[in-house]
Amino acid sequence: MMFDKGLTTFMIVATSLVMLMTPGLAFFYGGLGCKKNILSIMMQSFVSLGITTILWIAFGYSMCFSGTLGDGTDFFGIIGNFDKAFLNGVTSSTPYSPERNFPEYIFVAYQMMFAIITPALITGAFINRVTFKAYVIFLILWQIFVYYPFVHMVWGGGILQVWGVLDFAGGITVHATAGFAALASVFFVGARAERNTGPNNIPLVAIGTSLLWFGWYGFNAGSELDVDAVTAQAFLNTDVSASVAAITWLTIEWTTGKKRPTFIGLMTGAVAGLATITPAAGFVSLGAASFIGLCAGIVCYFTVKFVEYKRWDDALDVWGVHGMGGVLGSIMLGLFASKTINANGADGLFMGGGFSFFLKQITAIVLASAWGFIFTLGVLKLINKFVPVKVGRMDEIKGLDFGYHGEVARQ
C-alpha cells in the first residue's frame, strides 16, 4: 500500500507534538505545586501515558471509533463496538480512509495522545489531596465512562456528530468534560491543609507552558487530518488566540488588584486562550480567533477570581481555565463558525446561520459538562468505599512525594 508521504509525515509530527503536551502539563503543574508534591503531581500525568496506552489498544480505540449510529453498528449512538479491540483488522498497511491516505495506525496513535492528556488535566484541581491508588482507579473508570462515550458521540459517528454538533479539536470532548470533572473533584476532596504555598518553580512552569503551546499546534492543526487551507487556518488561529488571551490576562492583572503584571498570569492567560480556541480552531476566521482570545482572557480570569471568592480549592485553576475555556470556545463556535473557512463546518448564528446550530452547541456543552461533573462526583464516592481517595492530613502536610513514592524532587 502506497501512502501519501507528505500527509503521513505531517500526522506523525502532529502526533508527536500532542504526546509532548503531557510532559509539558506535568512540568506546568509540577512548577505550580508546592515543592513537597512536585513528583506526585508530575507522576499523575506521566502514568497516564502508560495506563491509557494499554486501555486504548485493548478496547478504547474500538469503543470510540468502531461502529456508527448511521449504520446501526454502535450502541445507541453513545458508544462504539468492540470490532477493533486489540486493533483487530488494523495493520500498518491499513489506510485511515480513501480520502486521507495515511496509515490508520497513526490515527490510532494521534487520538491516543488526546486520551492520555484529558484525564491528566483534572489532576491540577486536586493536587496533594488524592491517593495514588485511588487516582489510578479513577483514571481508568473516567476514561471508559466519560471520555470514550463523548469521543464516539462527537467524533466517532455517534449521536452528537450525526445531529450536527461540531468540535474541531476537543473543547467538548477534552476541556469541558475534564474541567467540570475537576470542579467535582474539588467539591469531593475539599480544601488543602496549606493553600497559600504558591508556585515552587516558575521557570518550570514556563517550560511546561512552552511545551503545551508548541504541542497545541499538533493538537489543533493536526485535527484537520489533512494538509490544506483549514490546517493553516487552525494553526494560526491557535497562536493568535493564545497571544491575545495572554496579553488580555496580563492587562487585567496589571490594572486591577495588586496592579502587578506576573509571569504566572501571562502564562495562565496563554493556556486559557489555547483551551478556548480548541473547539473552533478550524471553523472560524482569524478575526474571530482574536476575539475568542480576548474573551478567553476576560472570562477565564474572572472565573478564577470567582473560584477564589467562593474559596473552592481548585488548586491550579483547571475549571476556570480548561472547563470554562472549553465551554466558552464551544459557544463561540456556535456564533462565529463559517463555511467560507471550512466547507465541512456550519455557519454560526452571527455568520448567517440559524439558531438551530447554536442551540445544538449549547446542548452538547451542557451535556458534556453535566456528565463530567456528575460521574466524577459519583465515582469518587464509589472508589472511596473501597480505597481511601483523600490522603491523611499528616501525609498531606509532610508531602506526597516521599510519603507515597519514596522520592523527593529536591533535597
206-252 per-position pLDDT tens digit: 999 999 999 999 999 999 999 999 999 999 999 999 999 999 999 99
Residue 20 lies in a domain: yes
Angle at 62 between CA 61 and CA 65, to 5 degrees: 80
pLDDT in tens, 277-289: 999 999 999 999 9
129-147 pLDDT, tens per residue?
A: 999 999 999 999 999 999 9
197 pLDDT exceeds 80? no
* Residue where the block lists cell 445544538: 360
Residue-number span of the structural domain to which 87 is assigned: 5-401
| Domain-embedded: residue 304 | yes
Q: Which three cell numbers stand for residue 98?
A: 480513501
**Is there a domain that residue 407 lies in?**
no
pTM for the whole thing? 0.96
Q: In this structure, is residue 223 part of a structural domain?
A: yes
67 backbone φψ class: left, alpha, beta (φ>0; ψ -120 to 50): left
Q: What is the mean pLDDT of residues 25-43?
A: 93
Q: Is 292 a member of any domain?
A: yes
DSSP state of 102: S
In the numeric block, which cell numbers belong to residue 362? 449549547
Residue 291: count of CB within 10 angstroms of its CB? 17
Structural domain includes residue 408: no
What is residue 34's predicted lDDT score, i.e. its pLDDT?
A: 85
- When divided into structural domains, the chain yields a total of 1
Q: How many residues does the chain have?
A: 411
Q: How far is it, in rounded angstroms, from Cα 318 to Cα 252?
A: 20
Provide the CATH number for the domain around residue 255.
1.10.3430.10
Decide if 189 is inside a domain: yes
